[in-house]
Amino acid sequence: MITQTSWMALTRRRGYTLIEMMVVTVLLVLFSSLIVPNYLNMRDSQRRRAFYTGVVDLAGNAREMAISHNATMYLQADSSGNRLVIKQEANDSTYVAADGTSSATTSTSSNQNQDTNPQTNIGTTPNDRSSDPIVTTLPMSPGMQFGNFQLAGTASDASSWKIRFFSDGTSDSGAFELDEKGYVKSLVVNTRGGAVLTDGTIPDTSQESWIAGTYVQRQQ
C-alpha cells in the first residue's frame, strides 16, 4: 500500500527538470569553448615543433648519408609534391662551372667514380638531375608553404634550388623560408654542412658564400 509519504518520495525521484538539463548543457558548452581551442592550439604547436625538428634532422641526415655512403646527397624543395626531398647524385654527374667549362666523372680501376676536375664541384650548377634516386622525403606540415630561397648568398627559386652535401662533410651554403600564415622560419645551411633553424626571414649569409666554380680545398 502506497502511503502519501512514499508517493511524495517517488515523485521527488522522477528525474531532472527541463531547466536543470538546460543549465547542464550550457555549462558543458562553456567548458568546451574553453578547453577545445586550447587543445587544438596545443596539438598544432606540437605538430609544428615536430615538423621543424624534422627539417633540421633532414639536413643533418643528408650530410651523414653523404659521408657514410661516400656520395653526394642533396636537399631539394618539391613544390608540386609539397615536400622536402633528399636525393643522391648519380655517379656519372657532369658539373658546369661559372666559366662554362664542365667536368665529368670517370671509372677507376677500383670501380669507383672519381671526378676528373673536383675543384668545380663546389658552388656550381649541375645539369638535369630529375632521374636521381630519392632517398627520403619529408611532407610539409598542413598550412605550411615555401617562402624565399637562397643559394650561396644569392636569391634562387624552388625549381633550381638545392643544397648538396659532399662525402667530406662540407656542403653548399643556402637557405629557404617556411611560412605558415605569416609565421616565418628559415633553415640556413653553412659550408661545413651545419644546419640551423632561425626565426624570421633568411638572415645575411654572405659570410658563407663563394663564387660558383672557384676552387675550395676539400679534405679527402
Q: Which residues touch 166 (CB under 8 Å, ≥6 apart)? A: 66, 72, 121, 122, 218
* Type of residue numbered 95: Y
| pLDDT exceeds 60 at position 220 | no
Q: Can you tell me which residue has the cell 662525402? A: 167
Query: Per mean pLDDT, which range of 106-110, 165-169, 174-178, 179-183 is the poorest?
Result: 106-110
pLDDT tier at 12, thresholds 50, 70, 90: low
Q: How do residues 91-104 score in pLDDT, each as one tens digit?
A: 644 433 334 344 44
41: Cα separation from own chain's centroid: 21
Digit-coded pLDDT (tens) for 200-209: 999 976 554 4
Percent of the chain with pLDDT over 90: 42
Enumerate domains of the chain plus CATH numbers: 4-208 (3.55.40.10)
Q: Mean pLDDT throughout 160-168?
A: 94
Check pLDDT > 80 for residue 75. Answer: yes
